[in-house]
Every structure is written in C-alpha cells, then in structure tokens.
Structure 1
C-alpha cells in the first residue's frame, strides 16, 4: 500500500510517499480499514518538526484521524462487519502507524459508525477535534444549558466544533476571531457574539457582553498570553480549560483570586498511556457527535482536500496559521 513515511523530525519535506507492507490484524478485536480520508491536525505538524512520542520507532506514519470502509475483521469483532463505514482517532503519535495511508488497523472499540449524511472527508476531519472539544467543554468544564462560554479561535478546527457543541446544550457563546470573514463564519455556526481581537480588547468585550460578570467557562485553544486573557474574562468560581501547556510566565494571580478551576486537556492521553477504557469512551463521544451531525446540529468545515502525496503541503497550510476548519488528505 501507499503511505506517507516520516523517517526523521524536520520540515514538511521529511514526509515522503512510499510503498509499504499492508498492516495485518494483530488482535481478535482489530479490524482493517481501507482509508478514504485522513484528517490533518496541528499536532501532526508538531510531531513532524519536533519528533514523535516514540522517537525510537521511526520511520512512522503520522495522522490521528481516519475515515474509511471496514475491509477485514478479527474473530471477536461484533460491532462492525466488512463494508461498514467508520471513523476514528487512533495511531499517528509514533507507537502505531497513523492514517496518512491507504490502510489502517484499529480496535473496533476505538471506532464509530460514520453518519450516512456526511462525507468521508467531514468524518475524518471530525474525529480529533470533536473529542477535544467535547472533553474540554463537558468532561472538564461541565458546560450546561444557560452557561456562557468564551471560545478562542472559533473559526479553527477545534473552535468551530466547540461552538456547535456548546450551542447544542443551550449555552451562550462568545468567540474570538481574526477578521470579519471569520466573524461571519462563526455567526453562521451559532455564535452569539464574535470579537475580532485585532480590533477590540477581548476582555473588555467579554465583560460588556456579560454585564461585568465574566463567562462561566473559558476555552483556550491558543495558549501563551491568551491564557492570561482567559483568566480575566472568566467569572469568580468559573472554569478555564486550555489545550496548551502553560508557559513559565503565565500570570496565575487572577485565576487564584477568582478561585477558578483550571483544567488541562490533551485528548491523546488515552492513546499515549494505553488507557483502553478511556480511549473506548472517546469512541462513545464520536457516536454522540455522529448523532449531532445526522441531526444537522454539527457541521464540520473542510477547507482543503489534498491528495495523500500532498501531505507536506497540508502541513505548510496549517503552519502558516489562520485556517478556517480542517485540512484533509484523500487516498482516491
């Protein structure tokens, strides 16, 4: 089969299309999926440039997201059969081959049925960002109906999903974006307020929108000084969730004085730590998101569809910044 191999950390050019052996079923619960589309995420670019979690296992195949058709199943697979359409988040961090390939092997417990109403591109693009947004808003911050939430970079991959998940439970959303086109995009997704951070003071805008109270939940998808801004925009006893590791210069005073609960979110933890039940729970999250997609309450925006051979270009697009939605690689 064809796959994109990473032989060493480096620039996008280290991603090379090669012919490799097709993966075999290893355990009774495994199934082999003929991939139609692989999602591309910022974490892929970081693993490519800095090295994977398992540097001693190079060469490797990146790509955590996948969507395709089940081709073969192990003896204990009960949820799926050959011909079923599935999507999942598995592999791609260095321990096991990822999804920049024509075939992938995944435990049935980690996969969800692809909604018939969405394309393979949308399904593959949904996996990692949907799990990240769901865990951040609901598992970490306990977002509920009537809550107010600040979502940074609302037009991005995680952000545009987070807006829709928040609205699906009846929360009110204010989000930050870089320009008017993105502001219009997030309003179409259901955001109640969009703040162009290059034009307005974000904290002042949030305080005005909440009549000085601050939001119940702040979701930081950017990191750096944005985390400090989030503390200042979240109410006393509110929740802050960040996807990035706080830096040594993070100003914790506001969070401390407001008794805020601060949570860290890394959806790759179950895969990295080998936590089977936790990763199985993530497939349940995908099933919930699939239901929302079928109901028209969750739409995944795919901004670029590139061929597998264009993996390096996909990484360049993401590293350039300013993306709306997701980039995917197709195997057709």
Structure 2
C-alpha cells in the first residue's frame, strides 16, 4: 500500500499539564540513511515524556519534538543502507522521540524484532525500560548471580523489569513499593523481599535480611533523602547506580562511607547516547534477554492502554503513580 503524505502526531502545545498534549497533523517523515520507518501500532509512556511535557526535559539536538521514546509496529519503509529489516517486519524500537505518532523513524541499530509470542502492546513496553535496566544494572552495576540487589520503585516500568531480570540472572532481589498491594506485586514478579517504604525503614529491613551486611547493588531513581540511606544499605564494595532524581538532586550525606565501605556510585542517562552505543545495548538484549521473553520467563507488565488520541489521559494516570508496570498508547490508524 502507498504511504500517506501526512500522519497524526501528539504534539506538546506549550509546557503544562496533561491537557497540553494535542493530536495534530504533520507531514510523513522519510527514512534517511540507516533509518527505518515504523507504522506505529503501540507506544510506551515513560517518565521522561512527562518531564518533556512539563518543559523540564527538552529533546536532544536532532530529535523530534514529538514525545515517545519507544514504539512497536510494522516496518513501513527503510532508508539507504538499512539492510536488516524489510517492509512488513514486526519490530520494536528505542527512539529519541517521535513515538506518539502514526509513524516513527528509528535508527536501524536501535530496532529489534518483536519477541515471538508477544503482542505489539507488549513489545512497545520493552525498549526504554529494558535498555535502561540492562545498561545500568548489568553493564554499569555489574550484577552477578548470587549477589543481592535492591531496586526502588519496584512497581514502576523500570522496577518491574529490574526485578524480573535480576531474578532471572540469579540475584537475590529486594524492592521497595508504597503499599501492601504493590509489595505483593513485586513478590509475584520475583522479588525475594518487598519493603513498604511507607511503613518500614528499608535500610533496617535490608540489614536484617542480610545479617548486617547490606546489598551489593542498588538501582535508585529517587535520590534526595534516599541517598544517605542508600549508602547505609550497601555492603562493603557495594555499587549504587543513579538513574533519576525524583526526590531532588540536592543532598546532604556522610560521604565518608564512600571511602570506608569502598563504594562505587555511578549513574547514566540513555536518551543522549549515540546510535552506536544504543545499538550495542540492543545486541546484548537480543542475545541475552530476548530468549527469556520468548520463553515466557520474563514479560512486560502492562497496567493500562489508551488510544493515541487520549495521550493526556495516559499521562494523568502516570502522574498518580497508581500504576503497576507500563502504560501504553495504542494506535489503530
């Protein structure tokens, strides 16, 4: 079928509340060298999308102003030099923007086949969280079988992914969450111990469960007042990986623990990285994680779906933090 000249996208009509997300018409983009044009069937919602909508996280140079960091669908066209995929192939992709649209461009190295047995909605929930967890927990955090691992926000998209992957690769998993129901969800996903941070001190619970040793690795998206407590909860030679600052980036802590416990504190962002770097992560995921998805040992957790035109409702739900797992936009157009 011939491609249309225009497409519907969700634009940000000035920084503000969810209602600034508006469907508009834009010209259909054309794939350039090494690019794939995807007819979007589903697109994942992520916290950076919310920050971008609020004017707090502008897209990197060259990225579309349309929000959306991941999508899934069928290849519609390929640019010069893009050789792996052909029109009609079922794929999902990590993108620097543009997912909230009928069509989305993606660099071919960041495109992955939809794992066998998964729907487009499930596949659209994979790239942003799985790329983030893999590069931070396993590459930077160096998590190994037999080690102990704590993830904060265990029922977020990142959290549900981190729990499952850490458990699948043989770690003892701790997770924090904000209710008894969310703690139960963490345990269902593979967490050995789930800690209700509203009722328990996670440091004390970790120390109790590890006979005073602490955990080997923490993945944190909170920062703020959690930082000194994270340092307390880490074992000797422990590692702290920071991926967000939802509790604020300004902190006060006793940093002598970095030296006395020989800790490593690192962090990263994903969106500004080069295509080559993201392509390396994609190849690792395809080799080591995609087989787990195909086998059903790991699965994306979908909390709710909304039609593309109702992106504002999806953002409003995300801001309540009531969800467990991912919120996904669907596109029948």
| TM > 0.5 fold call | yes
Matched, 1:209 2:209: yes
Per-residue deviation, 1:10: 1.8
Matched, 1:262 2:249: no
Q: Identify the residue that residue 250 of structure 2 maps to in structure 1.
A: 248
Q: Identify the residue that residue 140 of structure 2 maps to in structure 1.
A: 140
Residues 58-73 of structure 1 mapped to structure 2, 5 A cutoff = 60-73=65-78
Q: Using the alignment, how far apart are the partners of 2:283 and 2:209 within structure 1?
A: 35
Q: 1:32 aligns with which of 33, 37, 40?
A: 37
1:269-297, Cα deviation, whole Å (9 max, x unpaired): 31xxxx23102113224423322211212
Unaligned regions of 5+ residues in structure 2, if any? 1-6
Q: Identify the residue that residue 279 of structure 1 maps to in structure 2.
A: 278
Q: 1:21 aligns with which of 23, 27, 37?
A: 27
Unaligned regions of 5+ residues in structure 1, if any? 93-97
Q: Using the alignment, how far apart are the partners of 1:8 and 1:143 within structure 2?
A: 41
Q: Using the alignment, how far apart are the partners of 2:214 and 2:196 within structure 1?
A: 18
User: Do the aligned partners of 2:42 and 2:124 also contact (CA within 8 Å) in 1?
Assistant: yes
User: Do the aligned partners of 2:227 and 2:251 also contact (CA within 8 Å) in 1?
Assistant: no
> Alpha carbons of 1:240 and 1:56: their partners in 2 closer, same or farther (altered >3 Å)?
closer
User: Do the aligned partners of 1:154 and 1:175 also contact (CA within 8 Å) in 2?
Assistant: yes
User: Do the aligned partners of 2:220 and 2:240 also contact (CA within 8 Å) in 1?
Assistant: yes
Equivalent residue of 2:38, what SS? strand
Q: Which stretch of structure 1 is more off in the superposition, 133-142 or 246-255?
A: 246-255
Per-residue deviation, 1:210: 0.4
Q: Using the alignment, how far apart are the partners of 2:264 and 2:154 within structure 1?
A: 22
Equivalent residue of 2:126, what SS? helix
Per-residue deviation, 1:176: 0.9
Q: 1:10 aligns with which of 16, 19, 32?
A: 16
> Alpha carbons of 1:286 and 1:68: their partners in 2 closer, same or farther (altered >3 Å)?
farther
Equivalent residue of 1:130, what SS? helix
Q: Identify the residue that residue 3 of structure 2 maps to in structure 1.
A: none
User: Do the aligned partners of 2:224 and 2:250 also contact (CA within 8 Å) in 1?
Assistant: no
Per-residue deviation, 1:228: 2.1
TM-score, length-normalised on structure 1? 0.92
- CA-based RMSD of the aligned residues comes to 1.8
TM-score, length-normalised on structure 2? 0.92
Q: Identify the residue that residue 113 of structure 1 maps to in structure 2.
A: 113
Q: Identify the residue that residue 84 of structure 2 maps to in structure 1.
A: 79
Q: Using the alignment, how far apart are the partners of 1:285 and 1:187 within structure 2?
A: 27
Q: Identify the residue that residue 320 of structure 2 maps to in structure 1.
A: 320
Equivalent residue of 1:20, what SS? strand
Q: Using the alignment, how far apart are the partners of 1:35 and 1:277 within structure 2?
A: 23
Q: Using the alignment, how far apart are the partners of 1:185 and 1:238 within structure 2?
A: 27
Per-residue deviation, 1:54: 4.7
User: Do the aligned partners of 2:165 and 2:298 also contact (CA within 8 Å) in 1?
Assistant: yes
1:60-87, Cα deviation, whole Å (9 max, x unpaired): 2100011010011123222111111111
1:213-255, Cα deviation, whole Å (9 max, x unpaired): 0011111122221222211111111101111257232313433
Flag the structure with higher helix content. Answer: 1
> Alpha carbons of 1:63 and 1:11: their partners in 2 closer, same or farther (altered >3 Å)?
same
> Alpha carbons of 1:244 and 1:292: their partners in 2 closer, same or farther (altered >3 Å)?
same
> Alpha carbons of 1:54 and 1:72: their partners in 2 closer, same or farther (altered >3 Å)?
closer
Per-residue deviation, 1:51: 4.5
Q: Using the alignment, how far apart are the partners of 2:284 and 2:306 within structure 1?
A: 27
